[in-house]
Amino acid sequence: MELIDKIVSLAKRRGFIFQSSEIYGGLANTWDYGPLGVELANNIKRLWWKRFVQDREDVVGISSAILMNPKVWQVSGHLKGFTDPLVECKKCHKRFREDQIPGMPADSQSDRFRECIWGGKHEFTEARKFSLMFKTFVGPVEDANSTVYLRPETAQGTFVNFENAQRTTRLKLPFGIAQIGKAFRNEITPGNFIFRVLEFEQMEIEYFIREEDWQKYFDYWQEQMQHWILDIGIKKENFAVREHEKSELSHYSKKTIDFEYKYPFGQKELYGLAYRTDFDLRAHKLSYEDMIPHVIEPSFGLERTVLAVLCDGYHEDNDRIVLRLTPALAPYKVAVFPLLANKPELVQKAREVFALLQKDLPTAWDSRGNIGKRYYSQDEIGTPFCVTIDFETLKDKAITVRERDSMKQERVKIEEVGGYVRAKI
């Protein structure tokens, strides 16, 4: 079984990610986060927000609406230029992006486009522009006057709030405005699990600077993004930086780099860093002290982060599967077991320990099966520590703490176990 198939299987089996509306056959390329997946995703968002907003004096946060006045998208250039080249096979009627049809370098994404299901090669139509924006309507009448769009990016919500945020916080250049929010793109060829989806979440900063300082702050944010990638547990050898060719640059960008991760299906974009110049604020006729700031944009995709940390953390260690998530991201930090589930005195004491730990730490309870199976079950979901209450606990008020990666065990006093775990995460 390929690694990506193992990740998908683990995600469903252990409650990380489910196919959306699965009981009705699902909806292609939409996914739901299960009990553990939502904790993992929220941990990523909380860690990101603390690092890039709460721990900084020069960045503030906002949360803008998904639906905005359509003039926003007209002025930003999205209504005219936010498209992909679409081709359709005349035989099987499947649609593809023109840049992913046969003739492109072979990879797991393009291989399946080489032969038509009806035999031979595909017979493609001429390419036509395909809008990536989802359209809907406000009010009871569906006409041009009531047309609105689901935002394809969070950035414009930040730009149109530039003056509001700056005025109310009185920040001076350089400063940033950050937000985490949903975006929607009507992708022609989404896929590879949660890598490319119709509905996704972005964690972005628009960092406003003076034009002459753009290279300095571009380099600074590249360094900050690299630190973040390493700190969430992604190994250095598993990602690389690639600068966009001039032909790849977006209409607003003077320079863009991608942090690419070595996913099981190929090396592809994880995060992006762009120098957007003054394009957006100039387009919206916004300024600061009689000048138009330029913008550096560090952009982090939540779904791609989740997928990367799952891929990087997945290990098969002899007869067990271990998800070596960095402890800060693990859905549970500690699990509590009574050695035997049919001994009331052990269960009662274990419940007391569980209640003690649960006050400050995300804590799991498990009394199913034998102790070995419980350990392996917690290893598979990435829980860094397991504590076991045994008969000795009733005498010495100490418990056995077992560490996920090394499987080493240590005896710790009950009143000290919370501090012991917190010190190691």
pLDDT band at 107 (very low <50, low <70, confident <90, very high): very low
CA distance linking residue 138 with residue 136, whole number of Å: 7
Region label for 53, one of left (φ > 0), alpha (ψ between -120 and 50) or beta (otherwise): alpha
20: nearest Cα among 12, 188, 153? 12
Residue whose tokens read 């900063």? 205
Is residue 356 within 8 Å of residue 372, measured between CB atoms?
A: no
Region label for 192, one of left (φ > 0), alpha (ψ between -120 and 50) or beta (otherwise): left
329: nearest Cα among 51, 54, 47, 55? 47
pLDDT band at 247 (very low <50, low <70, confident <90, very high): confident
Residue 108 has a pLDDT of: 36
321: nearest Cα among 256, 219, 404? 404
7, 13, 26, 43, 308 from 18: Cα distances, Å: 12, 9, 10, 19, 17
Q: What is the mean pLDDT of the chain?
A: 91
Residue 250 has a pLDDT of: 85
Residue 101 has a pLDDT of: 61
Residue 317 has a pLDDT of: 87
CA distance linking residue 365 with residue 104, whole number of Å: 51
pLDDT at 28 over 90: no
Interaxial angle between packed helices 35-49 and 302-313, expressed in degrees from 0 to 180 and rounded to the nearest 10: 110
pLDDT at 83 over 60: no
- Tens of pLDDT, residue by residue over 321-367, are 999 999 999 999 999 999 999 999 999 999 999 999 999 999 999 99
pLDDT at 191 over 80: no
Percent of the chain with pLDDT over 70: 89
Residue 97 has a pLDDT of: 62
Please provide residue 155's backbone torsions phi and psi, each rounded to the nearest 5 degrees. -55, -40
pLDDT at 203 over 70: yes
- Tens of pLDDT, residue by residue over 357-415, are 999 999 999 999 899 999 999 999 999 999 999 999 999 999 999 999 999 999 999 99
Mean pLDDT for the stretch of residues 256-265: 96
pLDDT at 188 over 70: no
CA distance linking residue 383 with residue 313, whole number of Å: 12
* Amino acid, res. 272: G
Q: Is the pTM of this model over 0.85?
A: yes
pLDDT at 98 over 60: no
- Tens of pLDDT, residue by residue over 39-75, are 999 999 999 999 999 999 999 999 999 999 999 999 9
Residue 92 has a pLDDT of: 75
- Tens of pLDDT, residue by residue over 146-165, are 999 999 999 999 999 999 99
pLDDT band at 186 (very low <50, low <70, confident <90, very high): confident
Is residue 20 within 8 Å of residue 281, measured between CB atoms?
A: no
pLDDT at 300 over 70: yes
